[in-house]
A and B are shown apart, each in its own frame.
Chain A
């Protein structure tokens, strides 16, 4: 075991003296957390909607008052009024406004007669997020518009009451588990991929190979040394990220201890996977070349940025064997729900078995000669 420690000591001393690469492995996911979290997480506001009233009746006025109320409170959009529908359509096509609400002629008459009155929302559907937000507002607004001035004491239609078990989860918090796993992965990629192959190309491994160290000791030493750096990256990211994302009680020791267990298990799984991928590689360009591809193949199918239930079959198949999936799920449980270890026992078991499989395969494939 002293030989294994010698390899770990060497790596950690180098890391302490020259931590730039490892700092970068934390910075990249952290920047992603902040930028993506705030870019995608906020509610859409300040859209512009053109209103064309071709009816000029009282029901249309009531509708326009409701539009003003949305503009003053939720601020999803600001209405601007057109007298000519063609002008409104021209501005829509030129991107000056995001949608046109058309109140057609005879709207008032149909409302008063109860004869299926209709208004039209003409939207710029090239931006699905904005058009979705407009549709959402109007879908919520119209039932209120349609209800009478006095609500019935006992509504005849069935209604749905939504009860949220946890406090509101902003998107930045939803991203944090995935970004934590990404930080561990980047660290594994740098430590277990790039630096490992660079050392090999520089002849450092030749120094190890002429000593009596055994194959398994070498693999274990490389894995633990890489995992130690990944653990540092993971625990820094999950703690700092929790503070930035506003996770409640981020520095609770019990919470951090549970996180640490998952960080260690994830680090071992990803580093051992990296060594298996690199075990026969000697060209320093290879880990750099596959970095982006691996990142995409492992990160996105894991459910880190979008629920796996929405994936096509082939992508679901990747997510089943992807260690990211289990790590991300485990971190979601701990970060967003603050659950106990039982809730993530399946994830821990998968990651442990994955580590054993990767290390065994790497040991079998590792050549103790040049």
Chain B
């Protein structure tokens, strides 16, 4: 039995399809990532799995329980960290956790012991009795993660756990999640639009775009699945006709894509292709305006499978902001 089973799950808001017939399973102990831009359907999917939004079609089971027919059992089995930070600023860390422990019916002795242990695990022991309004964003997120584990669930859902945090806090949250996962034998399903986060934390990643699953595999296999070991991004002062074909003919080039006169060259040997590229430009009398060489990342995987950059999608207005969707679903 899988900890999470998703079979042809779909969600429509009127005519808008937020999640389109998704299927996947998550094994016990796995960290499963849903990677995609805003409006891809990640949050809607996680809300269906956590019983917050009823599916329009398909079936999902969490810890063996149907998310629609056995919602109470599902809620008892899971810990959930929503995208928005929802701790009460006027209450202390212990008070915030204690109230949630009571909502799960944890007896007093166990409650006190669990809260103490969790606050230690998330490095907030010294801040236990301080009001949350004194906390930084990273500390608040760590507290919320601890709060989500107060009833010791085995399956943990995190919706964009590091969005809005500074780089240092993000790394601190990652390290804490890795430690908690191994210490508490957790199965984690998380959404993110950070490639490095998915790469660092997830055993398997499902890339989701426009409500559909584009590809699903481990980060290593995903990176290996696209042509080339290196990516060269190059732009020129001017580009003659047929220049892309000239680039494709360079040494060890696997693929070339032109995105608004920035050429992304997938190469099996970055250094050799770079030398050949510079020689070709010199021979053609072109000036190289910019050039970067890097190893293949999940960003390249995303571009390869979806045809667009994730960062472009993050900046573009998404369907999530439509009043209709906000009213019906509170976001995607």
Contacts and interface: CB of A to CB of B under 8 A. Distances in A.
A310 interface: no
A132 to B, nearest CB: 53
Contact of B80 (A18, A210, A282): A210
Interface stretch (A56-64, A65-73, A198-206, A357-365): A198-206
B84 A203 contact: yes
Interface stretch (B85-93, B199-207, B256-264): B85-93
Nearest to A210: B80
Interface in A272-318: 282
A207 B100 contact: yes
Given A206-B82, A207-B82, A14 B105 contact: no
Nearest to B76: A212
A135 interface: no
Contacts of A43: none
B103 A3 contact: yes
A203 B52 contact: no
A280 B53 CA distance: 15
Nearest to B77: A212
B99 to A, nearest CB: 5
A5 B98 CA distance: 12
Contact of A206 (B52, B72, B131): B52
A303 B329 CA distance: 43
Given A6-B102, A212-B76, A13 B90 contact: yes
A210 B91 contact: no
B75 interface: yes
B90 A210 contact: no
Contact of B91 (A5, A17, A202, A213): A17
Contact of B327 (A2, A18, A282): A282
A370 interface: yes
Nearest to A213: B103
B47 interface: yes
A213 B103 CA distance: 7
A3 B329 contact: no
Given A18-B90, A210-B50, A210-B52, A6 B99 contact: yes
Contact of B103 (A17, A203, A211): A211
Contacts of A282: 327, 330
B51 interface: yes
A369 B99 contact: no
A209 B88 CA distance: 16
B102 A369 contact: no
A138 B27 CA distance: 95
A370 B86 contact: no
B72 A212 contact: yes
Nearest to A221: B103
A367 to B, nearest CB: 10
A202 B330 CA distance: 11
Contact of B86 (A3, A206, A212, A368): A206
Interface string A1-40: 0110111011001100110000000000000000000000
A208 interface: yes
B243 interface: no
Interface in A325-370: 368-370
B31 to A, nearest CB: 20
Contact of A13 (B52, B76, B91): B91
Contacts of A368: 71
A202 B51 contact: no
20 contacts: A2-B102, A3-B102, A3-B103, A6-B99, A10-B99, A13-B88, A14-B91, A17-B131, A204-B86, A204-B88, A206-B84, A206-B86, A207-B100, A209-B52, A210-B50, A210-B80, A210-B82, A211-B100, A211-B104, A369-B54
Given A210-B82, A212-B103, A369-B53, 10 more contacts: A2-B105, A9-B102, A14-B90, A204-B86, A206-B52, A210-B50, A210-B80, A213-B103, A368-B71, A370-B330
